[in-house]
A and B are shown apart, each in its own frame.
Chain A
Amino acid sequence: MRFKIYRYNPETDKEPWMQEYRLDDIRPGMMLLDALLAIKEKDPTLGFRRSCKEGVCGSDGMNINGTNGLACITLLSDLKEPVEIRPLPRLPVIRDLIVDMEPFYKQYRDVKPYLTVKDPLPEVELKQSPDDRDKLDGLYECILCGCCTTSCPSFWWNPDKFLGPAALLQAARFIMDTRDQATGERLDALDDPFKLFRCHTIMNCVQVCPKGLNPTRAIGEIKKIMVKKSL
């Protein structure tokens, strides 16, 4: 099977380039990460992140044949040859397929992804009814791989101002949480032409999310809550 992989070492390369590799020992059920590990055995200079190999840690997000995804849960048999692998788009490349996730994490921090409780905290845990807990389904499962945000054209156009689907999904997760007492502040912080309203429901985020989440719907829910609050 043939692969074309983005290579860039800022210490030695003036510009990025594509390197071709060939793997002959392709077994049924083999994932793209298995292939990358096999390639790395041949060429230890190739750099990429990976950890759990099970689609849980979100480390191996990359652009595979033009679509973002996790290498560890992408079947080689589903890919067209040559498999073209590039780093996640619009993030600074540190080396080869390794990108600087800091701009992405900054967006995440900007939405204050933690419960804010103003009342004195109870002696026991903050309780929530099963119905209220159900509202968080489809929001809390995000693994922060960055596939959605880096596939979003609004993020490509305004990466420093638009918060991106992953951070907005987290914003929705805490806005929906009945235990949180900073809903008003959270909504006010998003009422800006860029942070939330650059989303044009392009839905690339939904298409690429390896966990099957729907950030576009979450963004729509935030808008609905904003409208209700403003009326």
Chain B
Amino acid sequence: MSAPGLQGLRPWIVQRISAAFIAVFILYFTICIAQFEVFDFDHWQQWLALPFNNMAMALFIVAVLWHAWIGVRDVILDYVHPVVLRMFLFTLVMSVLVGSGLWGLRALFNLHVA
């Protein structure tokens, strides 16, 4: 392998599956909020209190972040050639994405148990 630790087929499949899930979720979410005249914080809480919606939103957050990771990873692989800079950018992007994911899931979980 020309780049130890990085794969070819698996990220490509994950990118497509996550894209399909993101598209379906956005459609579902749009249909849901279209039924409210106003979608304020209370509505958000009510909507996310439903276990199905809560789980779907959690999966959506994971799917978006995973999709973003593969996309940004590809851009870095295309354009950034010095190995040290590439590793630095991978670490930076991964940190931001994992941090965002944990923050999002924490907000979602706190909301759910409230």
Chain A: residues with CB nearer than 8 A to chain B? 154, 157-158, 161, 190-198, 200, 223, 226-227, 230
Contact = CB atoms under 8 A, between A and B. Distances in A.
A194 B7 contact: no
Interface residues of B, number: 14
Given A226-B9, A227-B9, A230-B9, A192 B78 contact: no
A193 B3 CA distance: 7
B79 interface: yes
B17 to A, nearest CB: 11
A134 B93 CA distance: 46
A192 B8 contact: yes
Contact of B8 (A154, A157, A158, A193): A193
Given A154-B78, A191-B7, A198-B78, A223 B12 contact: yes
Given A197-B12, A227-B13, A157 B78 contact: yes
Interface in B1-52: 1-3, 6-9, 11-13
Nearest to A190: B8
Contacts of B13: 227, 230
Interface of B is mostly: helix
Interface of B: 1-3, 6-9, 11-13, 74, 77-79
8 contacts: A157-B79, A158-B78, A193-B3, A193-B7, A193-B77, A194-B2, A194-B77, A197-B12
Nearest to B13: A227
Contacts of A227: 9, 13
A34 B7 CA distance: 48
Which residue, B3, B6, B74, B77, has most C-beta atoms of chain A within 10 A? B77
Contact of B2 (A157, A195, A226): A195
Question: What 7 pairs across the A-B complex have the smallest Cβ distances?
Answer: A197-B8, A193-B6, A191-B8, A157-B78, A192-B8, A191-B9, A194-B2
B8 A195 contact: yes
